[in-house]
Structure 1
Amino acid sequence: MEYFENELCVTYEELTSGNDPVISGATLRQNIKRGNIRRAQRGGGEGSYALIIYSSLPEKYKIRFVERKGDPEQILKQQRMRDRVKTDDKARSFYEDYRYEMNGVETGLSDKLKAEYTLNASVLNALIYDLEDKTTSRKMLGNSLATLWENVAATSENLRDIYHHTLPENQARLREKIRRYKKEGYISLISGKVGNKSTVKIIPEMGRQLIALRRSRVPVYNYAQIFDEINRIALEKDWKPLKSKRSMVQWFERPEIEPLWYDAVFGELAAHQRYGRKHKTKLPDRRDTLWYGDGTKLNLYYRDEEGKIRTTMVYEVIDAYSEVLLGYYISDHENFEAQYNAYRMAIQVSGHKPFEIVHDNQGGHKRLEKEKDSKEVGFFDLICHIHRPTAPYSGQSKTIESIFGRFQSQELHKDWRFTGMNITATKAESRPNLEFIEENKDRLFTLDELKAHYAEARRAWNASPHPATGIPRIEMYEKSENEETDVVTVHDMVDIFWIWAKRPATFTDQGIQITIGKLKKPYEVFSAPGEPDHEWRRKNTYRKFYVKYDPNDLRSIRLYWKDNAGQLRFERVAEPYMVVHRAIQDQMEGEAEFIRREQEANIRDRIERQVIAKEIEYAYGVAPEQNGLSTPKLKGVTKEVQREIDRRTRKYSRDPEEIGLGRTTKKASLMTWDQLKENNEVDYRKVAGKL
């Protein structure tokens, strides 16, 4: 609404907009066409809009307009009054910077007073401008100034209805306020009561002495003793003694005074946590953006095998977005094993790598991080893009501690075996009933029962509503997507969670053996299930390999060799060494057949070794047969085996001389050295040479 050519007008939109308009658009257009309603301005042009002359509206539409929008004349009047008052920014700056002494300390005005004084100054500016304008106009026209201040007072009251200023209602007092304001400026609006609320007068020297007494550790003073001591010192130094201990205590508790003694009384770390600025952070809005990992007390009592009451630890990995407990491991120590297994479970549950992991500074994490100057990729570097420790001694910065605290109070607290919250908790409900627990210790969980109960409590937490959304946490997690996190593949699981053996191991005729903890386990390479790979053995027996294994699944290991550039190359997967019973009576089905096959395979290995070696000898003219000598036959094999070797190596000239190694060895084993010396029947050097 507005005035157009001295006519009060309302817009087309004001009449026709909303669910219950003053008049419908079709009816308005029809009345304009018939001449029942007059239009002051057409709409449709750039920046123009239709204006309807308010006085031309039928009475029923005027009534509707007032009911819905208000009286247009009054609205415009108030609008014009508002336009007359502009906020005085200089006044605002003056009151922001103004300082005065209260209780011996320099301070500023309250926000309420700043706003009140700025508004009053802005209104006074408008009244003074109005006063001077009307005075000039009346003098030019020769009119009387008798009613001038009445008009100023009326304007002030109209502005009070709009702005709620606190200038005097009385005309004489308002006139005096304007006079002082014009003479003294902004300072004239500040109440004389400001700064007169002092209840204790402490001069700077006395204040420093009070702080020194509060910080004193030898001796340590309480407030009553400080009050007595400061008044004793005041008499010596001609200070005005303090009258009230309560006022002195209030002085110590002032925000600008308390930091000067707090560290001496409660410790510097406590002072840092109390006064240090804290970041206000926003939690992630999608899954796997941030994971927290931390170890804490598992707050349930259990009884050990000896019947003693005990507690244990749990390491948890939590998704910050959904508060879902992703992975955990229960053990008595927050060590590498606990952290490794918790993160492994979290990765398996998630199926994705998190973008960021935040953990504490416990020693176990050092093994998960990349070692300084190491070329190897660290455990955390394989899991996520970024990992970092939390700030030390800053519990409030750990979101996981807040989440776990609520998990304890909401789920673990339901069981009577609950150990209670942290010992610093003040609520009685946060403490256990030790008498009841001692009386019923035979009903405490065993360790296995504790683990089962804890797993169920975690499921209940994950299924319960998230406090911010009301949606079950696990549902929030599963329905969320994070396009910047990688899906975990089988190869990723091997790269991340398989561990390198401490040192390389040699593959021997009895396979390759690695030590895991105190357990030694032999492995071998198979070409098919239950079939040792003899072809691979012929090329790799007594070769050193670097071994990688899954500590949670020892059904297979992976063998690697190092090339000349120092890079590890994958060779084969090895599985537990086949074990058969020695006694025929103990042998199970298939073992005898396996033994027979392996004997035949060993014979084939011997044949292959001989054939390859003899072919090389004949190719280079160094075979014994090519030089008038004979190659010994294989021992412990059939004639057919020897014949095959001879056939494949073209050895047909003559049979080698039979030495009878077995009989010679038997005879030598039955002799003693004294017999050999006395009888001189055998030249021991020749015997030893044949052996």
Structure 2
Amino acid sequence: MPCISENIICVTVPELEKCGMKINTIKTNLKQQRQNLVYCWEHHKIGNVVYIHYNSLKDKYKNLIQKELCGGLSIEEWIRLNTIRELLPPVRQDEKEELASFVITREKVDVTSGEINSEERTKLPDDHICLLLYQSRWLRLMHKDVYKYNNKTLKRFHVKTVKEFRCICITLANSPSPEFPNGAKLPKNYNACYRRQQEYEQEGIQALISRKFGNTSSRKVDDERIQILIDLYSDPHKPDYVRVTKLYNEIVLQNGWMVKDSPAVISESCVKYNLNIPEVMQVWYLARHGTQAWKNLFGYTILRYKPSTRDAVWCGDGTKVNLFYITPSGKAAKLNVYAIVDAHSGYWLGWDISEEADNIGSVQRAFRMAVTRSGYCLPFQMQYDNDGSNNYFKRLTTLHFPAMPNNGQSKIIERCFKNLQDQHMRYADGFTGMNIKSKNINNQINEDFIATLDKTKSLKNKKETIKLQEWFFHVVNNTPGKDGKTPKEKYFGSQNPDTQQLVALDWINMFWEWNEKECVYAKEGISWVENKIKRVYEIAEGYEFDFRNDVLPERYTPSADFACKYIRQKFYIRFDPLNSSRVALYKEEADNSRRFVAWAIEKDRMAYAVQDYKEDEKTEINKRLNIKKEQQKRAKQKREAAASLMNSEEIMKLGYKFYDKATLSAAEADLYGEKTEPIEEKTSTPKKSRKEYLKERRDKLNNKL
């Protein structure tokens, strides 16, 4: 669009192309102007953008720009209006929340008592809220402080008074826009609009809500009757139309409601008609049939398409393993599976199968498997049920969001589970059938067939059932879809440049756990008890943890430096629940944070008897003996360095250093039978004040004189 650059009205090359000019013509004219062959087409360049001076163009080009870009207005007028429009402030969040929570109320007569009560009807429609917010933006723009702040800019466009500025704003506000074809619907009269602005500044956004909005007084009688019908028909005992009609007519007769001098009784067909009005039906349907039934019929549904690339969204959820297996006590189906699927490809990334339903450990193991199989990538988003077991996902540093509880439509994984069971697992001998709430008989279990399998001992055991469930995941991953590609091919054939690659710190934060109490690094190393098993660890020279390919050294050299520096100090231990052969040591800081110090590996055990020595074991034992010697050597060196600072002949004369000189002299004289004079302590002359000093000095001068 035309703009002002360096105080000159300019247009750009793409804008001239929109007007219908050919790019070759524009480039030729600009080139001729730079060669001084023509005097029009003046321009300047800022960065890579060429700004063509509007006033240097011929009239035919000016008219074309005004027609195509400025809507028929002169370019000066168009820039003036557009500059004022750009001053429009944004929507205030507090006003948006206030309108969203506003509830329309009206008076309602209680048919049983005759009292007039205030009834909450409904909230403001979303389109009306948007219109009110649009009006508030223009009213805030018309404030005199806005005019004062932008005074210099507005004067450049010949806007000299606040009233003139407000009149332009009223015109712009009521003009059509892409979002509001009918404009802001502000009063076109200046005085009326100014009064509306004052009301808005004093009372806030609610001053803009029309007093007539939501008025249903013309339907007052009908509404009262419908309210009675809704209340009767909403009963969860689910009365039929006949009973509701009878009860309603009894209420009419008791209260003496009349229509044209006769009781206002109604027929069964009238009750049925009124209750099945869609607006009324969604009111009683919730109480009569329950939340889930109401959602299935009236709940708003968003149409969404699958993510465009892998690792954009991972979905996690748990369900029953619908397979019977044999236990020592008989037939059972107690296994649960927590699985994670990629929403883009439908590729099953990770799973964990156990008898515990959706516990944190199962979620963690499934997610660990998913991260490993993805090539150590983190998803951009993680979708999961909002229950206690999924608190594990709060460890993720990337975006994570819970799905709506009990709403299968909000989770892609629900459809993946349905496809897994319906297309593949149903052909297993021990299949228990689909969801027990399913009404399709083809999804129900054949009890006779399962009883035959149990009798002939054809069912698998628990271990075989777990393996079979895992096999089904792999079958789905390698089954071509309608497009001829398998989920595995879709997943590994896609690339997502925005996913985050895992580093060692991410791996530890997500999959390692903390020891509850601090442990002391003693002379034998640092030890702690896990599942009633005592484990001892020590620091090995040169060992660094690699979460992708962690290989512990068969033979290592213990770190003498660490033993000398951190002996008898306390550490928190962080460990891998699936591999306790190495741990991480952390020290607690003053602010209660924990600082990583070193990696420790499980300590080797050496043979006690020479007969039990293995190859190179003597060398390993000597390494550890040398560490003990090194510790003693360093302790002696540090002791000698400290003693050299205190090696004074006077202080160390009797071999003691914790006594003053007078005490040492007296003890020495007594030891050798010598008489010594007590050491006189020097007394310090008290310092004179300045006043006393000046007086003494004057006295001396007076004596001399």
TM-score by length of structure 1 reads: 0.54
Contact 2:539–2:601 (CA<8 Å) still a contact in 1? yes
CA distance in 1, matches of 2:475, 2:291: 41
> Match for residue 523 of structure 2?
509
**Counterparts of 1:226 and 1:289, CA distance in 2:** 53
- Give the match for residue 296 of structure 1: 319
**Alpha carbons of structure 1 residues 250 and 597: separation in structure 2 relative to 1, 3 Å:** same
Residue 563 (structure 2) aligned to one of 515, 518, 537: 537
Match of 1:485 among 480, 494, 499: 499
Q: Tell me, yes or no, if structure 1 residue 417 matches structure 2 residue 436.
A: no
Q: Is the 8 Å Cα contact of residues 235 and 241 (structure 1) preserved in structure 2?
A: no
Q: How many residues align?
A: 413
- State the Cα distance separating 1:261 from its structure 2 match: 2.1
* Matching residue within 465, 471, 490 for 2:480: 465
Which among 378, 393, 418 is matched to residue 405 of structure 1?
A: 418
Counterpart in the other structure of 2:465: 450
Q: For 1:209 and 1:561, how far apart are their aligned partners in 2?
A: 69
1:609 aligns with 2:626: no
**Contact 1:618–1:626 (Cα < 8 Å) also in 2:** no
Query: Which stretch shifts more, 318-327 or 207-216?
Result: 207-216
Superposed CA offset, 1:289-323 (max 9, x none):
11111112122222335444132211111111111
Is it true that 1:215 corresponds to 2:234 in the alignment? Answer: yes
Determine the C-alpha separation between the residues in 2 that align with 1:482 and 1:597. Answer: 50
Quick one: distance in 2 between partners of 1:611 and 1:459? 64
Q: Equivalences for 1:164-179 in 2 at 5 Å?
A: none
Question: Cα deviations across residues 106-134 of structure 1 (Å, max 9, x unaligned)?
Answer: xxxxxxxxxxxxxxxxxxxxxxxxxxxxx
**Mapped partners of 1:260, 1:615: distance in 2:** 88
More deviation, 491-500/425-434: 491-500
Cα distance change of structure 1 residues 249 and 512 upon mapping to structure 2, 3 Å threshold = same
- Mapped contact 1:334–1:362 kept (Cα < 8 A): no
Task: Please list, as runs of the form range in 1=range in 2, the aligned pairs for 1:118-517 lying within 5 A after superposition.
Answer: 209-216=228-235, 221-226=239-244, 238=263, 242=267, 252-331=275-354, 332-351=356-375, 352-369=377-394, 379-381=395-397, 384=398, 386-441=399-454, 442-467=457-482, 469-516=483-530
* Contact preservation (8 Å) 1:304, 1:310: no
1:328-364 Cα distance to aligned partner (Å, 9 max, x none): 1112121111111111111111122211111111112
Report Cα offsets for 1:277-298 as digits up to 9, x if no partner. Answer: 2222222111111111111212
Q: Confirm or deny: 8 A CA contact 2:229 2:271 kept in the other structure.
A: no
Per-residue deviation at 1:555? 2.1
Structure 2 portions without partners, runs of 5+: 1-220, 255-261, 543-554, 657-705
Q: Is the 8 A contact 2:338 2:363 kept in 1?
A: yes
1 CA distance for matches of 2:302 and 2:338? 26
CA RMSD of aligned residues (A): 3.5
Partner of 1:44: none
Question: Does the residue aligned with 1:480 lie in a helix, a strand or coil?
Answer: coil
**Offset at residue 589 of structure 1 (A):** 4.6
Does the residue aligned with 1:343 lie in a helix, a strand or coil? helix
Against the structure 1 CA distance between its residues 293 and 588, is the aligned structure 2 distance closer, same or farther, given a 3 Å change threshold? same
Q: 1:450-478, CA deviations, whole angstroms, 9 ceiling, x for partnerless residues?
A: 221111111111112345x3421111111
Supply the distance in 2 between the matched residues of 1:445 and 1:520 (Cα, whole angstroms): 37
Q: Contact 1:323–1:466 at 8 Å: present in 2 too?
A: no
Deviation at 1:425, TM superposition (A): 0.7
Letter in 2 for 1:288: D
Describe how 1:95-134 pairs up with structure 2 within 5 A: none
| Partners of 2:537 and 2:600 within 8 A in 1 | yes
Quick one: distance in 1 between partners of 2:466 and 2:504?
Answer: 28
- The CA distance in 2 between the partners of 1:232 and 1:626, in whole Å, is 115
Distance in 1, matches of 2:268 and 2:384, equals 53
Partner amino acid, structure 1, of 2:285 = Y
Q: Secondary structure at the match of 1:296?
A: strand
Task: For 1:223 and 1:581, locate their aligned partners in 2 and report how far apart those are by CA, in whole Å.
Answer: 90
Distance 2:268 2:604 in 1: 93
Structure-2 separation of matches of 1:208 and 1:455: 56
Match of 1:558 among 580, 584, 588: 584
SS at match of 1:440: helix
The DSSP-based 3-state class of the residue aligned with 2:322 is strand
Displacement of 1:232: 7.5
Distance (Å, rounded) in 2 between the aligned partners of 1:596 and 1:497: 37
Query: Given that residues 241 and 268 in structure 2 are in contact (C-alpha distance below 8 angstroms), is that contact kept between their aligned partners in structure 1?
Result: no
CA distance in 2 between counterparts of 1:307 and 1:336 reads 29
CA distance in 2, matches of 1:291, 1:622: 74
Quick one: distance in 1 between partners of 2:486 and 2:384? Answer: 25
Q: Deviations over 1:473-530 (max 9, x none)?
A: 1111111111111223445423443333333322111211234455442211122633
Q: Secondary structure at the match of 1:287?
A: coil
Say which one has the larger Rg: 1
C-alpha distance in structure 2 between counterparts of 1:443 and 1:522, whole Å = 47
Q: Does the CA contact (< 8 Å) of 1:499 and 1:551 recur in 2?
A: yes
Identity of aligned residues (%): 27
C-alpha distance in 2 between matches for 1:305 and 1:609: 63
Contact map agreement 2:238 2:288 (CA 8 A) in 1 = no
